Structure 1
Amino acid sequence: MEESFISNAKEILAKDTSVVPEFWQKKYRNEASKNWDKFYNRNTTNFFKDRHWTDREFEELRAGHVFSESKPVLLEIGCGVGNFIWPILERNPDIYVYACDFSRRAVGFVQANENYDEKRVRAFVCDITKDRLADTIPPHSVDIVSAVFVFSALPPEKQADAVSNIIEILKPGGRILFRDYGMYDLAQLRFKSGHKLEENLYVRQDGTLSYYFSTERLRELFVRHGGLVELENDYVVKRLVNAKLKIDSDRIFAQAKFQAPIDTQAIEAAMTSTKLTSDVDSTLAMNI
């Protein structure tokens, strides 16, 4: 990223000094699943495109890769209506998928899909910030957890709870594949005044939340709090050009991989002995 872009982005964000009133902040944070239910009621399965790109970005999702000695088990958190699930199941015949979302309506769409077969996929409702995944999935049994554009929907104060929850079902040596909105992304810079809840956290018109990650924030969540090993942690920059809409800007995503240590006791010790600090200073994003 060019320094001029970062400087301009910081200048834009600095102008927005207002925050959403406390009453509404609490309401948006507490009604996340309700607002996503409304979203899927309006849009059904027509809003998001199928994610055919995921196994290009994450080779672990390809057939016969790292976990070829046995049928890999994957958990997709924030599965929505299945835009991640169906391409992966089609291209990887050996994989078994658990899929969860805190929107009951979204999970219903997955279960109603003609491709839904519990021999290969099981979808269930779960708020990963408070509902124990291990009540549905055996502890330390999942090879891969995909977290693709899901943590941004969680309030920052609940993200560490979600990490701890995920780690409980992750196999020793298992991996978390992460991709989400990065700091200074076009979507963050386009928020108008009156949508900001706190640093890097915004509310959309429909009441859903959107958080923008720095790589340091990810390191704090998954390494310092979760006790995982960082394999990758960087920004992915995509140039977006649309002459008709007069858009020429950068989409910025935070993309990372984290691996569970072989010793599960080491994970549990790290989770109980480490406190998550407040969100990192935005200047850390100078590493973009």
Structure 2
Amino acid sequence: MAQAKEPENASDLCNSVTDLLLTDSLSSESPAQIKEQTERILTHEELEKLNSDQTLVSQFKQQKLEKEAQKNWDLFYKRNTTKFFKDRHWTTREFEELKACRKFEAQKLVLLEAGCGVGNCIFPLLEEDDNIFVYACDFSPRAVEFVKENPLYCPERCKAFQCDLTNDDLQDSIPVDSVDVVTLIFVLSAIHPDKMHLALKNIYRVLKPGGIVLFRDYGLYDHAMLRFKSGSKLGENFYVRQDGTRSFFFSKELLAELFTGAGYQSLVNEYVMRETVNRKEGLCVPRVFLQSKLRKPD
């Protein structure tokens, strides 16, 4: 299999993943943020840029990107190891269900981190909560190995495994109807839109009736979406980075349609707006995330 094209220099690599870096590093702090029901209003220049960029990546290249998706994420973790993302200490602040969804105080909470990366979400949770068991899966075998090599990894409290959410049955590793909470954080956007429903149905089968999915991902018109150069567009709101990894930007309407189509009930579905200062480039940029809470009916 051909190797994915490497960025020509360190600057290209930085630009290809800036949206990833900004997302995690600045979500670990808590700058002022506003939750909105309507999408961000674009400036005239932003609207012109999006309207002028209608050329799609060739079908041949798109098929190649889909075929090599796992390899491209593996290369990402090979280059960056465990040092790229900061630990997500903000999850319990944004999602109180991680602490409040127990029916009784002594209940052991069973969590699935779908798309765990190198464990930036699960290890802070395991440190904070002694009465939690975490299933952690990722598309990248290399990322899963980094999770297992972490000194905090303990098989009695965590089970990490490689999984393609769109193809591999989660029930091979997790009992049906056994998970209390699923975290799906900056993961669905990396999956081809035609296959997103497969991932949601897969998760649905292992989630308990009444269980909750906590979702956070790129929202429509986020600054990262506007950074893509001409020639990066794969489809509507869908782009490829220079390193071959892909990103989709969600409207709240599309997300609700995806989840309700897979059987979930929508509890919360809103845009999170914030401004981020990129000191390196001297920019203050608008970030837009979509934050949602979905429930499997009883």
Structure 2 length normalisation: TM-score? Answer: 0.84
Structure 1 CA distance for aligned equivalents of residues 42 and 183 of structure 2: 30
Tell me if 1:259 matches 2:295. yes
Tell me if 1:230 matches 2:230. no
Alignment of 1:112-131 (within 5 A): 112-131=149-168
Alignment of 1:1-288 (within 5 A): 5=42, 8-62=45-99, 65-69=100-104, 70-223=107-260, 225-242=261-278, 245-262=281-298
CA separation of 1:121 and 1:2: change in aligned 2, threshold 3 A: closer
- Measure how far apart 1:232 and its partner are: 0.2
Structure 1 CA distance for aligned equivalents of residues 111 and 256 of structure 2: 22
CA separation of 1:101 and 1:243: change in aligned 2, threshold 3 A: closer
Structure 2 CA distance for aligned equivalents of residues 122 and 6 of structure 1: 46
CA offset digits 1:15-68 (Å, max 9, x no partner): 112111111101111221111001001111011110010110000112xx2215
Structure 1 unaligned regions, length at least 5:
263-288
Aligned residues: 259
Does the 8 Å CA contact 2:273/2:289 hold for their aligned counterparts? yes
- Measure how far apart 1:169 and its partner are: 0.2
Q: CA RMSD in A?
A: 1.5
Does the 8 Å CA contact 1:128/1:165 hold for their aligned counterparts? yes
Runs of 4+ in 1 over 6 A off after TM superposition: none
Structure 2 CA distance for aligned equivalents of residues 2 and 198 of structure 1: 19
Aligned-partner SS, 2:297? coil
Structure 2 unaligned regions, length at least 5:
1-37
